[in-house]
Amino acid sequence: MKTKLQNNSGKILFVVVALFVIFLGYNLYIAPVEGFENKFVYLLKTYGYIILFAWSILEGEAGLVMAGLLSHTGDMNMYIAIFIAGLGGFTGDQIYFYIGRFNKSYVHKNFKGQRRKFALAHLLLVKYGWPIIFVQRYMYGMRTIIPISIGLTRYNAKMFAFINLISAWCWAAITIVPAWYFGEEILVVLKWVKEHWYYAAPLAVFFGGSIVYYFHAVTKKKEKNFEN
């Protein structure tokens, strides 16, 4: 039974994402308030922990920031939010790990365009060992590749799970606690953004694009250094 679940880890992730999207859509539709924004806030306050867990499987920091803000306003408990977000992040990477461990033919077939990233991930694991498991969540463009790549190796599954769990809880705390602590300031900024969206939107696109470009360039540079 365990092996069967591991072999279908990729399908499990797809089903989780699909159910999450259906869950959000249905509950947004039936929410007893008017307006999309009010419906979304209502959804977060009512099903916050469920949404946080599913969102964390995809390792989306936006969901954790929202959890920090809801903890600031008293709609969530910060410690429970960190615990659940960590479990979600842990679950997501475990699924990616077992995709690599038990679906090697699938990985080689569907990730042909990512061969250089897989080679880089393997090199980082060989060079730095277990710390690369701990920090991979903060590496743009490698967050999915590294767990799958480690799964392709003979790395001990129990050791990966242990480090992954500690890493996930640290990741959750590092993201949620600052959002909780600076909640009032963040809410002020969000209010300004809402009222002056015509200024905020171009700035968000510029800074977001700059960050993505920077991390993309760093990843490409590492890949080139690896080839040389």
pLDDT, one tens digit per residue, over 37-85 is 677 777 777 888 888 898 888 777 888 888 898 888 888 899 999 999 9
Q: What is the pLDDT of residue 36?
A: 61
Query: Mean pLDDT for the chain?
Result: 78
Provide the 8-state DSSP code for 111. Answer: -
Q: How confident is the model at residue 141 (pLDDT cuts 50, 70, 90)?
A: confident
Percent of the chain with pLDDT over 70: 75
d(CA 214, CA 71): 32
183-195 vs 197-227: helix crossing angle, rounded to 10:
110
Residue closest to 132 by CA, chosen among 141, 140, 117, 121: 121
For the cut 70, the answer to whether the pLDDT of residue 213 exceeds it is no
Query: What pTM does this model have?
Result: 0.73
Nearest residue to 190 (alpha-carbon basis) of 171, 204, 207, 206: 204
Q: Who's near 176: CB < 8 A, 6+ residues apart?
A: 64, 65, 67, 68, 71, 78, 81, 82, 85
CA gap 77, 65 in Å, rounded = 13
Q: Residue 181's pLDDT band (boundaries 50, 70, 90)? A: very high
Does the pLDDT value for residue 223 go beyond 80?
no
Q: Report which DSSP code applies to 31.
A: -
Does residue 190 or residue 185 have the better pLDDT? 185
User: What integer pLDDT is reported at residue 207 of this predicted model?
Assistant: 54
Cα-flanking dihedrals φ and ψ of residue 139, to 5°? Answer: -105, 105
| Each residue's pLDDT tens digit, 8-25 | 655 666 776 777 778 777
The Cα 99–Cα 114 span in angstroms is 15
pLDDT classification of 171: cutoffs 50, 70, 90 = very high
Q: Which of 141, 167, 172 is nearest to 60 (CA)?
A: 172
Query: What pLDDT, on a 0 to 100 scale, did the predictor assign at position 199?
Result: 55
Q: List all residues 6 or more positions away from 83 whose beta carbon is below 8 Å from its beta carbon.
A: 169, 172
- pLDDT for 12 equals 67
Mean pLDDT of the region 215-225: 54
User: Per-residue confidence at 178, pLDDT binned at 50, 70, 90?
Assistant: very high
